[in-house]
Amino acid sequence: MPTTLITGASSGLGAEMARQLADRGWDLALAARRTERLEELRDEILARHPGRRVELRALDVTDDDQVFEVFRAFRDDFGTIDRVIINAGLGKGAPLGTGRFDANRQTAMTNFVAALAQAEAAMEIFRAQQRGHLVMISSVTAMRGMRKTITTYAATKAGVASLAEGVRHEMLGEPDLDIRVSTIYPGYIRSEMNERVKKTLFIVDTVPGVRTMVDAIEKEKANALVPAWPWVPLGMALRHLPLSLVRKII
């Protein structure tokens, strides 16, 4: 069976991606800080799919050494890792200059620096195997600079999208390596990260929203705004409209 490694898999989008990929025949390497949640998820998946293999490890993605240790250990468990989904993230933040540098720094370290470590660890495995599928979970907020509490969050998501594109660019010049790179830009999908948000335009429930993510991942799309409606046209608009109009959309 092919194997997908998912970080930040204990809840929200990561947990639902694990469920849906298991439904599609994937074995799973699941990592997160909250191992008790991972164990519950594993038991749920195995109850539905007794033949599936699900391995778990505790992982704080901001611990660089642990990232490499956990990725290598999963590789040793399965022999190969076919896909890595860099999903772990944080939505904490505050407007710049308002005394919450700590919150913005934590988001930057978790969403970008830790994603860099995960990408390094994944690519180390893929280069040795000469194949693999690297998936970076970005956000529609990466389309433009954002304001208030999501300024730093959006900047980190733009950063990981650029990081993924850089790897994709490099792989075009490596004919002996079958390493594909996908950047997924989810729109507003209900998850634990935004559960306190009561009214958000265009938000969709977790299961159908994640299904659009998994569809794009399985098709190995280079870039995908999901759900396609309304985020494909809105993404184009966000990239090109004046900021005064962007403020009214997002």
| Ordered alpha helix ranges (H), the chain | 12-23, 35-48, 64-78, 101-108, 114-129, 151-171, 206-218, 228-240, 243-249
> For 35-79, what is each residue's pLDDT tens digit?
999 999 999 999 999 999 999 999 999 999 999 999 999 999 999
Q: Count the alpha carbons within 13 Å of 167 in the hemisphere toward its beta carbon.
A: 26
- Phi first, then psi, for residue 52 (nearest 5°) are -80, 150
| Chain segment 79-132, per-residue pLDDT in tens | 999 999 999 999 999 999 999 999 999 999 999 999 999 999 999 999 999 999
Amino acid 202: pLDDT? 77
Kindly list the catalytic residues.
153
Model confidence at 193: pLDDT above 60: no
Domains of the chain from N-terminus onward: 3-249 (3.40.50.720)
Q: What is the pTM of this model?
A: 0.95
* pLDDT attached to residue 203: 84
Residue 198 has pLDDT above 90, yes or no: no
For 152-190, write each residue's pLDDT tens digit. Answer: 999 999 999 999 999 999 999 999 999 999 999 999 998
